[in-house]
Each structure stands twice: as C-alpha cells, then as structure tokens.
Amino acid sequence: MKSLAQGMSALTARLNPRERLLVTVLVLLGAGSAAFLLLIEPAVTARTRNLQRIDALERDLPVMATLAERIEQLEAQTGSASSSLPSAEFSLFAFIDKTAAASLTRESIASMNPSRHPLRDGKEETLVELRVSGASLAEIVSFLLRIEQAEQPVYVKRLELKRRYEDKTRFDATVVTGALSRS
C-alpha cells in the first residue's frame, strides 16, 4: 500500500498543478461513482423493496385476521362436532356407493378408492375417492347435493371437474369425500 502511494505521488510530481487537479478530480469522481454503485444504490433499492413488502403485508393483514377468526370458528365447530362423529358402524364407502348409485349411472362410475388417515386429536379421517367418467353436470350436482344433505357429517374434501373434449355436455370428475371418526 505504501509503495502504491509512493508510485502515485511520483507520478503526480511530474505533472503540472493543473494536470494534478484534473487527475484528483477524476479519481474523486471514480471513487464517488464506485461508492454510489456499490453501496448507496443497493441500499436504496433494498429499502424500496422492503417498503413495498411492508405495504403488501399491511394490505394482507385484515384478510389474514379474518381467516384466523374463521379458522377459530371452524375449530370450535369441529370440537363441538366431535360429539356428533359418525358411529363405528357408519361406513363412508358404503354411503358413497349408495349415494353414487342413486345419482349417477353405473357406467359413469370409473372407480372408488377408500383410505384412512390418523389425525393428531385421536380421530381418524376416512376418505373415499370417486372417479366419474362421462357424467352430466346434473348427475354430478345431484350427487354433491345428496352428500350435502346427508344426516352423517360427510364433507367434500376435493372436487375436480374436467369437460370432455368430444362431448361438451359430459364431464370427468374426481370427488374426494371424507368423514371423521374416533380411532
């Protein structure tokens, strides 16, 4: 570092005062530009980006508060619904089979796959995945309506509808229904 400073002073010693002033101004401009590009501009950009994130989060805060209240309500309902869990003799698979037979044609029922998943509250979730092929929208809506009006607490966990390419009035659907029970 010392030799660099000595080399610079020897170089500037050969220059006249006006050239020394010009070199000094250029070095200061270069140092200022480097400081701006390496320090100031990234800091300003990061600050602007953080302010935009804060604004977005502040806009989302009321929505999140509403969702938190809704989650608390649903958890309270689930707690109160645990007393109305289906009895041990209730079979979701049999219920969905009977409901599908009443609403859909046998040819449109492609498959029914049951599964069970333990939950953290000592409860168990029973799921039945029903795949429907080539059913009318009225048939699918009738099936969903029968599930909605069931006396047992059965719910639709996932619904996927896909319009058929060759016949726009027919749909392929995947309906995953569920029910909670004590394990």
Q: Which residue, of 79, 114, 134, is where some domain finishes?
A: 79
Same domain flag for 97 and 145: yes
Whether residue 108 is found in the same domain as residue 168: yes
Residue 104, CB-side half-sphere exposure with 13 Å CA sphere: 31
Q: Do residue 70 and residue 6 come from a single domain?
A: yes
The parent domain of residue 17 ranges over: 2-79
Sign of CA dihedral 87, 89, 93, 95: negative
Whole-Å CA distances, 134 to 145, 163, 166, 179: 19, 9, 10, 26
Could you read off the pLDDT tens digit of each residue along the chain, which spans 183 residues? 677 677 777 777 778 888 888 888 888 899 888 888 888 899 999 999 999 999 999 999 999 999 889 888 887 876 655 555 555 567 889 999 999 999 998 999 999 999 998 888 778 889 999 999 999 999 999 999 999 888 888 899 999 999 988 888 899 999 999 988 776
Cα(50)–Cα(132) distance, rounded to whole angstroms? 48
Question: What is the model's pTM?
Answer: 0.53
Same domain, 51 and 125: no
Domain count, the chain: 2
Alpha helical stretches, state H, 113-176 = 137-148
